[in-house]
Structure 1
Amino acid sequence: MPELHCHLLCSDEYYRPWSEAGIVETETQELVDGSLIDLCGATLLWRTAEGLARTPTLKHLEALRQEINAARPQCPVGFNTLAFPSMRRKDTPDEKQPWVYLQCGHVHGYHNWGNHREEREGREGRHRECPMCRAKGPYVPLWLGCEAGFYVDAAPPTHAFNPCGHVCSEKTAAFWSQIPLPHGTHTFHAACPFCAQQLTGEQGYVRLIFQGPLD
């Protein structure tokens, strides 16, 4: 598998035909924890046993989910208790699903506050005005990232990727926001590891701001 890793790491060689491509002296074929391998459009993440030892297990992720729910975060508008759904992937949000304003990070339940006429008619998509700070931006449901191998540590999930809403630890969000992944044949961009959606915004992720119970 000669110089396969260079398809991802070396943009100059990636653009050149094989007849013109040469060995990149500053690179090595040795796989280390976190190495990315591009296989004709499918990007593989290589993890070592030592690297995986620092990541959470599915059991640990489930415990973190239950810990967040046990804190009884509330929607600051409807005052209803929010809860992350089970780790099993779903296509539609639950009634108690947390939603976030990605411009500011304030977490709410789903509501129609700030749903202006142009938004209702679909011209602004899911953009809303946050009732807490008046920041305008995407308003999306939060989903706990359930693929443990994509985490770089076992810290609590406190940040969400923009614009998909997948939640993970701060270090994991910061790591993937700085990793350019191949997109098509000539471009690279940072993407959410859980859904491969291209990251947007200044950082590509946002810190979540939960409101605790009032009682």
Structure 2
Amino acid sequence: MKVYKNSILTLLLYSLFIITALAIHHLLSSTPFQYVRSTICFGLAPAFILYANHKQLWFRSSLRWIIKLSRRPLLSSTIFVMSALVSFDLTFHFPIHEFVHLFLLGFGSFIYWAPLLLQCSFIKLQNYMRRFLYLMLTSILFVLYHESSFYFREGTDTEAFLYTGVMIMIIQLFSLIIEWAESERDTDPVNVKGYFKSVSKN
């Protein structure tokens, strides 16, 4: 299987992000800061990983730690929740809390997308079941945190960010299912041949 087989499909699906985010933020009349959060988390972060895949930037030694971290989905989920979600409520104690949060948001978003999108030729891709479970886990945590935040803070200022995230996660889930189905449908003639007739030793 080619490493970059479905990059074009993923990129096309993510091109819907701009339209989706603009529509949601316009309808909910959210603050510009929430639109910036959505752009960083669900636009720039996955776009950079797709760009790194295309340019094969993962061969650089300075980025090897990202590859190692992408193989640990539970740790990636924890970093995403703490950096992208919890930091929004905690950084209000800092003088420049918006910039601090955006920095942590960018870092956490990059870590979040790595297990789903990172592809390079010198490591084995994670199987579809692991990526599916990781996506479901982070999506559930994403929704539950916002719902609990709305309940305890009695505010819905991050509602547009929530809906944008849910929409993008659904698109990613749809993309993953299509890719999974295509991989299951394709058969390897070299492997199948031996089941029906003897393979020549020559």
Q: TM (normalized to structure 2)?
A: 0.25
Higher relative contact order (CA 8 A, sep 6+): 2
Q: TM (normalized to structure 1)?
A: 0.24
The structure that is helix-richer by fraction is 2
